[in-house]
Structure 1
Amino acid sequence: MNKSLKVTIAGTTAIASLVIAGAAFADTYKIGITQNNVGVDSYQTTYEKAFIAAAEANADVEAVVLDAGGDVARQIAQVQDLIQQEVDAIIIWPTNGEAVIPAVREAFKAGIPVIVTNSNIAEAGHEFVKSFSGPDNITQGSRSAELMCEALDGKGRVLQISGQPGYTTAIERAKGFEDRLPEVCPDVELVETQPGDWNREKSQTVMEAFLVKYDDIDGVYAGDDNMGVGAMNAAIAAGRVGDIAFVGATNFAVGYEAMARGEYYGSIYQSPVDDAEAALKTALDVLGGKEVPFLNYFDTPKITKANMDQFTKPVF
């Protein structure tokens, strides 16, 4: 079946959106997605490409693809725009789990099912959502704590570089790590946490400050490998990389490569392609009247140098 791809401008958001459309059959579903910030890291960029590819491959889907650019107000406007377009379903990758709740409520009142992808919204908004599709971020943080315990052999002092404040994934991964670490390693102390905002350069700067402040640091946990590699780069520049165990979550290609070199201990394997395809499938299942669990997780296992040959190198 022929597909067409065209670029339009979303009137209320003044940014470009992609419309991926199949032939105009009556059973075609119009699905809108508003993403967090495609430009902030390669995971989100890969997710968007995978989502577009999955939508193009499905003759029953017309997709409106938007990106909030990390701006909560813009994302709220995008949801309102999708409501006005009378889409059949909305997928949202929230920029802020609390702030987007009123917009999600508007979609609910308009009779449009909402699927949250990758990072859940705050619990107060769950009643307005059909399903969450993505990783179990608390489990990811918990597994990262177990990796840190292994790396330090049960003793040491660690620092944490968390994601963007107010972002549900950042909150949950930190909680999973902080709750699990004293359970598996009571002799490992979490000394301090600072946000890296999912940004490699900022995380490197945060780590540079940590290295000045602390002489005796044994490990660093970062909410994703993008930040973890930024922290590792700071330690390399300071000549201290061999003294510190680095553990992340969401294994990036740079983390995978550093793991192979022995500079990075471990991470959590998470595919943005699986993430994107799962979100679209969840939306289609909801629209098709299928029973979908509210928390629709896909598995994200631990990865270290010892087992990395079992995993394909990330493309992001």
Structure 2
Amino acid sequence: MTLKLAAALVATTALVGMSGVAQAETYKIGITQNNVGVDSYQTTYEKAFIAAADENDNVEAVVLDAGGDVARQIAQIQDLIQQNVDAIIIWPTNGKAVVPAVRKAHQAGIPVVVTNSNIAEEGLQFIASFSGPDNITQGARSAELMCEALGGEGKIVQISGQPGYTTAIERAKGFEDRLPEVCPDVELMETQPGDWNREKSQRVMESFLVKYDNIDGVYAGDDNMGVGALNAAKAAGRAGDIAFVGATNFAVGYEAMARGEYYGSIYQSPVDDAEAALKTALDVLSGKDVPALNYFDTPKITKANMDEFDKPVF
């Protein structure tokens, strides 16, 4: 038993003995994240989650990171079940692979909140709620930005996120479904994964530049990858001919947008993301009516309206 939890129990016992009224219950909430070291969004999310938990006297947080390893995340979920936590928050490394572990938590009577990137459809019956962005909508809005940037026609390539990762799948789907609706004369020539990594995305873009003499636009699943693509295009002397669009605005994307090198992205705060996940878990534990899909809004951002948004801290 931790000192924090022990102190809460002592205080509760004392209050019950004197007046029959108990202090607010302390909840032990475990979180297993995808891969904190892979990008600054996830690093900022973790810091914000810890800060939010520390500010809440009724929360004892167990913070874990899977390091991008599905097997490790499954083991962490099993460990949290054995610890008999009150709730588990999961940022899935792979939306399909974690379903059996989520089912075990559900069978153990532990509510599960999935954060940021949802699990596969067959696992939705085992979770209390999803907290995060609507990735399909983000992809669709990015397609609209690309259409604006190209004036309705052109040839583009896509750098997607990590294969098997729900956010990557949904952002790509949202983009690919919406693009022909708004811009039927824009051709998506090829998609390759950048794994949310700037350096890999730069190498992917280098290959695209060798393969295609004409690239009018690049859509990347987030600005970290988008700026990697931009760097490759700048090195090849072709950046001025290409419109770059992302799906989560990073500080580097915000700065490139201000310089006129990057057309647009989708504004998403990791602090809002983390705080929303913790609040959703607490609402579930307190018996509140929580929507199955608890989305927060993620608007378009371009140079034309970027002054309305704070520069991302990640």
TM category (shorter chain) comes to over 0.9
Kindly state the Cα deviation for residue 111 of structure 1 after the two structures are TM-superposed: 0.2
Q: Secondary structure at the match of 1:58?
A: coil
- Given the superposition, is the C-alpha separation of residues 239 and 128 from structure 1 closer, same or farther in structure 2, using an over 3 Å criterion? same
What letter is aligned with 2:284?
V
1:1-316 matched pairs, under 5 angstroms: 23-25=7-9, 27-316=25-314
Structure 1 unmatched runs, 5+: 5-19
- Given the superposition, is the C-alpha separation of residues 131 and 22 from structure 1 closer, same or farther in structure 2, using an over 3 Å criterion? farther
**CA distance in 1: counterparts of 2:196 and 2:5, whole angstroms:** 32
CA RMSD of aligned residues (A): 1.2
Deviations for 1:165-211, whole angstroms, at most 9, x for unmatched residues? 00000000000000000000000000000000000000000000000
What letter is aligned with 1:96?
N
What letter is aligned with 1:35?
Q
**CA distance in 1: counterparts of 2:270 and 2:215, whole angstroms:** 32
**CA distance in 2: counterparts of 1:91 and 1:21, whole angstroms:** 20
Kindly state the Cα deviation for residue 24 of structure 1 after the two structures are TM-superposed: 2.6
**CA distance in 2: counterparts of 1:77 and 1:24, whole angstroms:** 29
**Is this contact kept in 2: 1:21–1:63, CA < 8 A?**
no
Kindly state the Cα deviation for residue 21 of structure 1 after the two structures are TM-superposed: 6.8
**CA distance in 1: counterparts of 2:264 and 2:174, whole angstroms:** 16
Kindly state the Cα deviation for residue 105 of structure 1 after the two structures are TM-superposed: 0.4
**CA distance in 1: counterparts of 2:206 and 2:8, whole angstroms:** 55
Q: Secondary structure at the match of 2:71?
A: helix
Judging by fraction of residues, say which structure has more helix.
2
Kindly state the Cα deviation for residue 219 of structure 1 after the two structures are TM-superposed: 0.1
Structure 2 unmatched runs, 5+: 13-24
**Is this contact kept in 2: 1:21–1:56, CA < 8 A?**
no
The share of aligned pairs that are identical, in percent, is: 86
Deviations for 1:28-50, whole angstroms, at most 9, x for unmatched residues? 00000000000000000000000
Kindly state the Cα deviation for residue 23 of structure 1 after the two structures are TM-superposed: 4.4
Alignment partner, residue 7 of structure 1: none
**Is this contact kept in 2: 1:154–1:188, CA < 8 A?**
yes
**CA distance in 1: counterparts of 2:277 and 2:97, whole angstroms:** 21
Kindly state the Cα deviation for residue 109 of structure 1 after the two structures are TM-superposed: 0.5
TM-score normalised by L of structure 1: 0.93
**CA distance in 1: counterparts of 2:185 and 2:89, whole angstroms:** 43
What letter is aligned with 2:251?
A
